[in-house]
Amino acid sequence: MGRPRKALLDRRRIGRTALELVDETGDFTVPEVARRLGVQTASVYHHVDGRAGVIELLREQVVDELDAGTLDERPWDVALEAWARSYRAAFAAHPRSISMLMTSPVRAPRVIDQYERVAGLLLDAGFAPEAVMPIITGLDNIVLGSALDMSAPEVMWVVGGEAEAPRLAAAQAATGPARADQAFDLTLAGFLDHCRGLLVRDRTAAATDGREAGGPRS
């Protein structure tokens, strides 16, 4: 808010440049980002808090491609499914960033804001507070594992001859197109079904607690 407009633009350019480098080479260094922007390395450090800061700007670039409007849908499972599909598409465009982003802590405000909305969605639906982070983490892992898989070859297992692996060869021959999409649909459906089951349990527990505390809440 108080920052000059130019600084904001520069931060966006830094994130975009780091993302380009990761898309092309699988990694980035701050001096490489500076060189590509035609500035001194020290100028980049003037705008961001070290390499970790650049990673967060890069993260915002990817997450900006996500449709956060999906989180306004209701009920919760429709919203979560639509968000997961948009999330997968955004990361599938930048597969080489996935490993880096999964293993460094999220600090980027625009990304924290999306997770705040997901946490609110699950809490409002009636999930127990302790169930929320395992659900968010599980969904993250499914989405990012599957986004990585979208960069995999359509035939992932190369069987030399039928004699080598006849049953794997038969299963691959019987597989329809878009193996990666089929696998994601299957996994996401199973995950959401399981969460719906957990929600019944959590709502029942909450209702029982309410009665024990002196009758059901209004």
Cis omega (within 30 of 0) on the bond before 75?
yes
Give backbone dihedrals phi and psi of 121, rounded to 5 degrees, phi first. -55, -45
Near a second copy in 119-158, by CB under 8 A: 119-120, 122-123, 128-130, 132-138, 140-146, 148-149, 151-153, 155-158
- Pick the closer one to a second copy by CB: 70 or 114: 114
Give backbone dihedrals phi and psi of 43, rounded to 5 degrees, phi first. -65, -35
Decide: is 115 part of the binding site for a second copy (CB under 8 A).
Answer: yes
Member of 7, 8, 93, 170 binding a second copy (CB under 8 A): 170
Contacts of 2 (CB under 8 A, 6+ apart): none
Decide: is 161 part of the binding site for a second copy (CB under 8 A).
Answer: no
Near a second copy in 35-54, by CB under 8 A: none
Decide: is 81 part of the binding site for a second copy (CB under 8 A).
Answer: no
- Pick the closer one to a second copy by CB: 40 or 109: 109
Binding window for a second copy (CB under 8 A); candidates: 11-19, 40-48, 69-77, 168-176:
168-176
CA 102 to chain centre: 8
From the CB of 25, what's the least distance to a second copy, in Å?
A: 9
Query: Tokens 């700007």, residue?
Result: 57
Member of 51, 102, 126, 203 binding a second copy (CB under 8 A): 102
Binding window for a second copy (CB under 8 A); candidates: 5-13, 61-69, 99-107, 202-210:
99-107
Decide: is 168 part of the binding site for a second copy (CB under 8 A).
Answer: yes
Contacts of 71 (CB under 8 A, 6+ apart): 79, 83, 114, 117, 118, 121
Decide: is 29 part of the binding site for a second copy (CB under 8 A).
Answer: no
Please answer whether residues 198 and 127 qualify as being in contact, where contact means their C-beta atoms are separated by less than 8 angstroms. Answer: yes
Near a second copy in 185-214, by CB under 8 A: 185-187, 189-191, 193-195, 198
Which of 82, 96, 101, 81 lies closest to 150 in space, CA to CA? 96
From the CB of 54, what's the least distance to a second copy, in Å?
A: 16
How many other C-beta atoms lie within 10 A of the C-beta of residue 61? 21
Q: Give the binding-site size for a second copy (rule: CB under 8 A).
A: 76
Give the C-alpha separation, 151 to 93, whole Å: 9
